[in-house]
Structure 1
Amino acid sequence: MSDKLSFQKESLEYHRAKSEFDTNGKTATLLTKPCTTQEELSMAYSPGVAYPCLEIQKDAELAYEYTNKGNLVAVVSDGTAVLGLGDIGPLAGKPVMEGKGVLFKSFANVDAVDIELNTKDTDEIIKIVAAMADSFGGINLEDISAPRCFEIEERLKEICNVPVFHDDQHGTAVITTAGLMNVIEMSGKKAEDLKVVVIGAGAAGIACGNMYKELGVKNITMLDSKGVIHSGRDDLNKYKKLFALDTDDRTLEDAMKNADMVLGLSQADLITPEMVQSMSDTNPIIFACANPNPEITPPVAKEARPDIIIGTGRSDYANQVNNVLGFPQIFRGALDVRATKITENMKLAASRALAALAKEPVPQNVKKAHHREDMEFGHEYIIPSPFDRRVLVYVASAVAQAAIEDGVARVKDFDMDAYKIKLQRLADHLDGKI
């Protein structure tokens, strides 16, 4: 049996129940209070449950005290842009949404419920999510196709009193921005002087471009399936129009000449060695994030340009762009200050935290997980490892602080020093140390 078929079989078995007391799938309900005596039953449900109900009726904020709202995220999808599988429908996308819940819990101890919506209607999705949003501490939109995802998120952010975050857009943006911050520092370049190329004008590409602008990047060439997005085109939606340049560049080969950074969010093998050689003279960077195979592999890119800094979405290469470095910890920080939204400043704070952590000495257990001893800040290590539990402490505390500064945190008199200690204890717990 081939390795691929063997892995397929193992994956299918992984998702099935293993015993008579197990359940199919990857998530289940975990009770946090005992219910083994008559008294406990009376408090868990009738008549004792009436007391927290009446308190919440008087003050809705007490839902954070008496229910799981403050640690609960809804993972909402319509199944129209599932990983690399495309529009496979909401039910077929459910294993991915369950998987998102696994990552929330494993990396930040955030509880998540997956909700698959059997509709593609933008207004209907917005109406449904808005109606249920107050049951949760936050809403994680997932795998909703562009450009619909932009309008859905924008309108829900205006309507809802809890954070709404489309991870397909902002997760990749937060992590690649962290890498870009470190490359800027290493090279001595300035953000406003960079030429950045983004291959792919979907949800992630648009969001990354917007975040690079927030960082100060002015020259961004974006490409879609028809080539460079330029001012002479009349087939652009309003989101692509924001990146339409007055340029003679039409192809990827044109765009990559003298580029300081290239972000690939498209398909395998689009970038040739000759394109890499045409990039800027000093510390060019490529994030080739197409899955499962990148736009160019690190060995090919490095043979063309030994000075290239390259990351991919794969765990078997250095500098993995993995969204698990972002969304669990971002929500952890937002939930813990009871934020009403996730701001641009909160996302940039997450990027800065990741960039800062990459400069710290790497724990031995993280090196062991990667089978590497050379993990120190430099070309082969500009983004922290997903296995580094310090990501939780760095990112969640930075996001919480930014939420307070932006005035979107409900919690008053927040003790940041105590919070960082609490996060470290949680990280140690998740790591099995306590």
Structure 2
Amino acid sequence: MVLETDQERTEHFNRMSLKFSEFYKGKTMVIPKVPINNLGSFSYWYTPGIAAVSTHISKDIESSFELTGRWNSVAILTDGTRVLGLGNVGPEAAMAVMEGKALIFNYLGGVNAVPIPIRTKTKEEFITVARALEPSFGGYNLEDIESPKCFFILEQLQKDLSIPAWHDDQLGTASIILAGLINALRVVGKKIEDSRIVLFGSGAANIAAAHLLMAAGFKASNLIIADSKGILHPEREDMDTLMLNNPWKYKLAMLTNGERREGPSEESFQGADVIISAARPGPDTIKPEWIKNMNSDPIIFALANPVPEIWPNVAKEAGARVIATGRGDFPNQINNSLIFPGVFRGVLDARSRGVNFKIMVKASYEIANFVKDPSEDRIVPTMENWELYPQVASAVARATVDEGLARRNNSTEGFYKIAREIIEENRKAYRKLVDGDIIKKLPEMD
């Protein structure tokens, strides 16, 4: 089958996803990881022997990370209010995406991730559920929660919990944006401290990206945020509302846009070096003529899913030098899958209590530096570069030690050995399931 247009290819992937999902009825499963030889095995895996494990943990809560699977378990929590580019589709519909996330966690990071869509209406209800589930997990991956609710939830959970809370739409997207941007600037020969960056769209991803870019050395005065109401600046008419309802965005209005530029969002392109777009999906969201107003060798990250804000070939014709999207069927996929499996492998191996921007900057540089000779069509690795994940994990694990967040101490090399072994063993087990036809082959497409 020859798929001639970007839209035809997108529709083909949609049909495949529906057919395969109906065939497999879920992407992950839970199976025992211990030997069960006979009835006597249950005497120590369950009753009566297991009472000794419970008694031990009741006297030393931290030992739950050593005596149970908590050390390698992550909950993927969502309320389904902001799923991909689809919006509020509800927790049941969100399950399909969360299962995909769990699949990637396990395959690339060796992490046991459990998808848990929850039916909550308020941020307070969500936080209550998350607090209640904490004893079961070594970390939380928050996913697909509408803005600004997601900011409140993440901030509160990071204060309340003794395990890492990570919102992938904020922190994961920001980290891989930074990794890609580091190499894109290397390709065009521009410096971090001199580059003018436009964050086109002001949802969870770009607000987090703005904070991470500043933590990485980008000047706040060189950042401009633009949304459906235009360029963000301190005198914009909605500042009082933002101060009450979205203090994170309000803070950025005060910190960024050193020139105090005003006007509609398209005017932010004038004189920009980089556009990082996390805006409305659709190939006409960014106009080619806007790109022509940018500085020489412009960089365009069009990250909306499932359809980018401008098709890459159109951006290239308009003069863009480096173009990235969120899709794997184009070069330069800026996708969270390159960051979260390694990050969680690292925080779990270190038994970390949290994660912060310093750790994320280190993870981003680890990803960027993995690409030895970045080019216009290769600024980030791909998910096939599985060696990336233990490297990110070891850098993250060591960074949690340096930040005083780790329960376990080790060198970068020691953490690398741990991560590599876990990921390799997990991949071997999966391969045996496939080779033994225990995992069924893909069905034929009609």
TM normalised by structure 2 equals: 0.87
Q: Pairwise CA RMSD of aligned residues?
A: 2.1
Supply the AA of the counterpart residue of 2:22: R
Q: Secondary structure in 2 aligned to 1:262?
A: strand
Deviations 1:187-220 (A, max 9, x none): 4433232211111111111111111111122221
Q: Offset of 1:292 from its aligned partner? A: 1.9
2:139 corresponds to: 138
Distance 1:230 1:5, change over 3 A: closer
Q: Which amino acid aligns with 1:389?
A: W
Gaps spanning 5+ residues in structure 1: where?
19-23, 360-375
What displacement does 1:157 show? 0.4
- Mapping 1:375-386, distance limit 5 Å: 376-386=373-383
Deviation at 1:55, TM superposition (A): 1.1
Please say if 1:411 is aligned against 2:413: no
In structure 1, the partner of 2:247 is 238
Match of 1:332 in 2: 345
Task: Say whether the 8 Å CA contact 1:289–1:321 is kept in structure 2.
Answer: yes
Match of 2:22 among 16, 26, 31: 16
* From 270, 277, 288, the counterpart of 1:273: 288
What is the CA–CA distance in structure 2 between the aligned matches of 1:17 and 1:272, rounded to whole Å? 40
Kept in 2: contact 1:221–1:243 (CA 8 A): no
1:295 is aligned to 309
> How many equivalent residue pairs?
410
CA distance in 2, matches of 1:96, 1:406: 32
Counterpart pick for 2:394 among 386, 394, 397: 397
Give the CA deviation at 1:27: 1.9
Q: 1:396 to 1:304 in 2, by over 3 A?
A: same
SS at match of 2:89: coil
Change (3 A) 1:198 1:7: closer
Q: How does 1:95-174 map to 2 (within 5 A)?
A: 95-174=96-175
Higher-helix-fraction structure: 2
1:52-86 deviation digits (Å, cap 9, x = unpaired):
11111121111111100000000001110011111
Note the C-alpha offset of 1:17: 5.3
Match of 1:372 in 2: none
Residue 363 of structure 2 is aligned to residue 350 of structure 1: yes
Q: Distance in 2 between matches of 1:51 and 1:163?
A: 28
Q: Unmatched 5+ residue regions in structure 2?
A: 2-7, 433-446
Shift of 1:223: 1.4
Higher deviation after alignment, 234-243 or 101-110 = 234-243
Q: 2:198·2:268 contact (CA, 8 Å) conserved in 1? A: yes
State the secondary structure of the residue aligned to 2:130: helix
Decide which of 212, 220, 225 is 1:222's aligned counterpart. 225
Alpha-carbon displacement from aligned partner over 1:218-276 (angstroms, at most 9, x marks no partner): 22111122121122223233222122246233123311111111011113222222221
Paired residue secondary structure (1:395): helix
* Contact 1:389/1:427 (<8 A) preserved: no
Given residue 223 of structure 2, which amino acid in structure 1 is its aligned partner? I
SS at match of 2:323: strand
CA distance in 1, matches of 2:62, 2:193: 43
| More moved, 225-234 vs 90-99 | 225-234
Q: Distance in 2 between matches of 1:4 and 1:211?
A: 31
Bigger drift between 188-197 and 122-131 goes to 188-197
How far is the alpha carbon of 1:183 from its aligned partner?
Answer: 3.1
**Residues 102 and 113 in structure 2, CA contact (< 8 A), matched pair in contact too:** yes
What's the CA shift for 1:112? 1.0
Q: Which residue identity is paired with 2:251?
A: L
Moved more, 308-317 or 69-78: 308-317
2:416 to 404, 417, 420: 420
Once the two structures are superposed, residues 333-382 of structure 1 have per-residue CA deviations (whole angstroms, 9 ceiling, x without a partner) of: 000000000111111111010010011xxxxxxxxxxxxxxxx5211111
Contact persistence 1:314–1:321 (CA under 8 A): yes
Q: Distance in 1 between matches of 2:31 and 2:158?
A: 30
Q: Is the 8 A contact 1:341 1:408 kept in 2?
A: yes
Equivalent AA in structure 1 for residue 354 of structure 2:
K
User: In 2, Cα distance between the equivalents of 1:6 and 1:271?
Assistant: 24
- What does residue 435 of structure 2 align with? none
Distance 2:417 2:285 in 1: 46
Q: Which residue of structure 2 lines up, in the alignment, with residue 373 of structure 1?
A: none
SS at match of 1:16: helix
Please give the alpha-carbon distance, in whole angstroms, between the structure 2 residues aligned to 1:280 and 1:430. 47
Q: Distance in 2 between matches of 1:210 and 1:229?
A: 15
Distance 1:63 1:95 in 2: 30
Indicate conservation of the 8 Å contact 2:227/2:265, yes or no: no
**Which residue does the alignment assign to 1:66?**
67
SS of the residue corresponding to residue 92 of structure 2 reads coil
1:185-204 matched pairs, under 5 angstroms: 185-204=186-205
- Distance between the aligned counterparts of 1:53 and 1:173, measured in 2? 40
Alignment correspondent of 1:182: 183
